[in-house]
Amino acid sequence: MPEFLRLQTPADALARLLDALPREAALGAVTIPTQEALGRILAEDLHAPHPLPPFSRASVDGYAVRAADTYGASASLPAYLRLSGEVLMGKVTKLEVAQGTAAVVHTGGMIPSGADAVVMVEDTQVARPGEIEVLHPAALGENVLQLGEDVQAGEAVLLRGSRLRAQEVGGLMALGFTRVRVVRAPRVAILSTGDEVVAPDMDPLPGQVRDVNTYTLAAVVTQAGGEPVRFGVLPDERAALEAAAREAHATCDAVLITAGSSVSSRDITSEVIAGLGPPGVLVHGVALKPGKPTILAVCAGKPVIGLPGNTVSALVVSGLFVAPLLRWMLGCRPLLSPRVSARLTANVPSEAGREDYVPVRVSGEQGSYEAEPIFGKSNLIFTLVRADGLVRIPAEANGLAANTLVEVLLF
């Protein structure tokens, strides 16, 4: 029986691929400016060199006070406090707030000695020069960011494997980490095959199509933290594919090959992949639509994936296998995939025994989203352009009925 007919579930196929890879990816680490680290994976644990905030600060414009001096204050019976001065921004203040006094403080300003709360300026009014009326009581610590309230000195603030988002970049800068060690981005070779495929900047002749897969896969690789290496479009010739595959395998950390993975007399991809090194092809065929003729392999310690040539199939497969593979190689901590619940607006057919992924357009408001299926063949890229996400139909289901509550995996 051809190996292609022995289909595996997507989860089992991915597990088999990852289990065959070396436990520790040899990507190494590089040190880069933190301002350039958005989306990169941290290569080491980081601990706070000092507390944050490094001093107690006001979180509003107003007056630093002793909270006890404001207890019982109201608009009809205000508390009267004498002004002892103003806290200058960016300066260490020497002011002291004694009983019955207050100091002018601005957002971010240092809390002077003796003060333990800040009254918002909106809750005060000037009684006479040098004196204010407090119209609302302040609780102990109100409107004050305490020393170390955000981060304590020595605290582990980020762990190895963390993906650096905008907030992580800002947090590192706040602690003075202007350079950071991140995992080297894996180089991922992308090989497209097809005598009919031409570059996007060319005008296709009848029977030709522009190359889509190289660029969509490069985008997936970049988004997942890798560095795409485009090998261009190869003719449907074994010698050309073998030469390019050997070079890609020797110079990159992973290899992606599109097309040539279906059962036909011209299917040479699995044989070429097998020749790149042991153990070779692990999976040839996944119980999945679109994407059934997927090839997963490990060759001499490096992952190699053969993807269907149809653009929708290639993108679905890249989301199920390529992105998780790259996160695994990077040592990335698990990520939450954005998803929403919605009700189908139409029946969606499916064949039991395989997972189906159906593009949908989402409309409505949160709590009442609707998912409109976008039906189209797997070589029609704009079925995905028009979609907001995918709905997974389990292998045991014979389709889903309209009005079924489904989970949409957002792009």
Helix H or strand E segment including 358: strand 355-363
* Shared-domain flag, residues 217 and 269: yes
Sign of the CA dihedral 396, 400, 405, 408?
Answer: positive
d(CA 66, CA 96): 11
- 131-149 pLDDT tens trace: 999 999 999 999 999 999 9
Q: What is the domain range of residue 177? A: 29-51+156-183
296 within some domain: yes
* Shared-domain flag, residues 343 and 385: yes
d(CA 40, CA 9): 30
Last residue of a domain, one of 271, 300, 330: 330
The confidence band for 3, taking pLDDT boundaries of 50, 70 and 90, is: very low
* Shared-domain flag, residues 400 and 257: no
* Shared-domain flag, residues 9 and 94: no
Q: Are the CB atoms for 3 and 285 separated by under 8 Å?
A: yes
The predicted structure's pLDDT at residue 263 = 52
- 23-56 pLDDT tens trace: 765 789 999 999 999 999 999 999 999 999 999 9
Q: What is the CATH number of the domain that holds 372?
A: 2.40.340.10
Choose from 170-179, 192-201, 335-344 the range with maximum mean pLDDT.
170-179
Does residue 393 carry a pLDDT above 50?
Answer: yes
* Shared-domain flag, residues 71 and 179: no
Q: What is the CATH number of the domain that holds 229?
A: 3.40.980.10
Last residue of a domain, one of 145, 174, 197: 145
Last residue of a domain, one of 145, 174, 194: 145
- 245-301 pLDDT tens trace: 999 999 999 999 997 544 553 468 889 999 999 999 999 999 999 988 899 999 999
Kindly give, in sequence order, each residue whose CB lies less than 8 Å from that of residue 260, ignoring residues fewer than 6 positions away.
193, 236, 241, 266, 267, 268, 269, 306, 309
* Shared-domain flag, residues 232 and 373: no
306 within some domain: yes
**Domain count of the fold of the chain:** 4
* Shared-domain flag, residues 219 and 262: yes
* Shared-domain flag, residues 345 and 391: yes
* Shared-domain flag, residues 399 and 265: no
Residue listed under structure tokens 């170390």: 148
Token duo for residue 281: 């092809």
150 within some domain: no
* Shared-domain flag, residues 292 and 325: yes
11 within some domain: yes
Share of the chain above pLDDT 70, in %: 96
* Shared-domain flag, residues 222 and 366: no
* Shared-domain flag, residues 225 and 322: yes
The predicted structure's pLDDT at residue 264 = 52
The predicted structure's pLDDT at residue 260 = 53
d(CA 366, CA 362): 10
320 within some domain: yes
